[in-house]
Amino acid sequence: MTQKLKYLSRIKDEFDTVICGVNGVFMCGDQINDMAVRTLIKLYQSGKKVALASNTGMRVRDLYYVLKQKDVPMNIFYAMITAGEIAHFYLKNTQSLGRSYFNLAGGESKVAAGLDYSVADSMVLADFVLAESSSHNISTAEAMPLLEQALHLQLPFLCVGNNTSCVGAHGVTESIGAVAEQYAMMGGKIIPIGKPDVRIAGYLAEGMQGFWTPRCLVVGDDMATDMRMGNTFGAKTLLIGNGVHQLTDNIEKRLNDLSADYGLNVDYVTETLVW
């Protein structure tokens, strides 16, 4: 049974570690939620280990500097991982995809930067398709002609960040996961990287002395990525209601319906992070 929360401090004694998303949790597009950041600071001051797990296509160092420039105190985070960092490592250590990619967003991908890959100007010159989650995602409708061409060429699709939607300054919009989902429905091969892959949570937990999964809280705004990872990992889960699902009215009933639809358990729900 999901418990609705107003203040995170009410359950702080139930966990030692927090694995936290970024967008939809304490960041909305390019805007920082100061109240949510203060809550994370309070968690750190309470002796909790706070780790970030983001499905952004940015590398860890890039996300670090973006948050630091927005005056988020980076010393409060025990560890960070991004889908972009995992994809960079994957590309660095695989030979199976070939060495030329077509970027759906156009231009060179930051994920492949510094590696032995070249960006193809034409789909016919590419060995695979690449797209990464960012603040400027291509929509499924815009991508359809490219997806049809990629399918005809039987190109695999490396999807960096699995979110099908994201919340930003202009509300909830499609994210790159929706494009990959469409490609899979068309019969194309996709290689998804990012949450809900439970190995992400396992990586963040490595090196945490005394870590115990039942004492871990996974915080995020997306059922399909954050809550699924938390359930698979065996951790407690907290859904941010005003994220991609926009649970602002009848929050308990709507969450119960979502939980049934996704086949997931959510331990706690709150509109936004407040200490």
pLDDT tens sequence across 123-135? 999 999 999 987 6
pTM of the model: 0.95
Give the DSSP letter string of 88-108. HHHHHT--TT-SEEEETTSS-
- Look at residue 136 in the predicted model and tell me its pLDDT: 66
Q: Which fold does the domain 12-84+196-245+252-270 belong to in CATH?
A: Rossmann fold (3.40.50)
- Look at residue 140 in the predicted model and tell me its pLDDT: 94
- Look at residue 122 in the predicted model and tell me its pLDDT: 95
- Look at residue 135 in the predicted model and tell me its pLDDT: 60
Residues (pLDDT < 70) of the chain are 135-136
pLDDT digits (tens, 9 = 90+) for 1-60: 789 999 999 999 999 999 999 999 999 988 999 999 999 999 999 999 999 999 999 999
Q: Would you kindly state where each structural domain of the chain is located, as residue ranges? A: 12-84+196-245+252-270
Contact by Cβ (8 Å): 28, 275: no
Q: What is the mean pLDDT of the chain?
A: 95
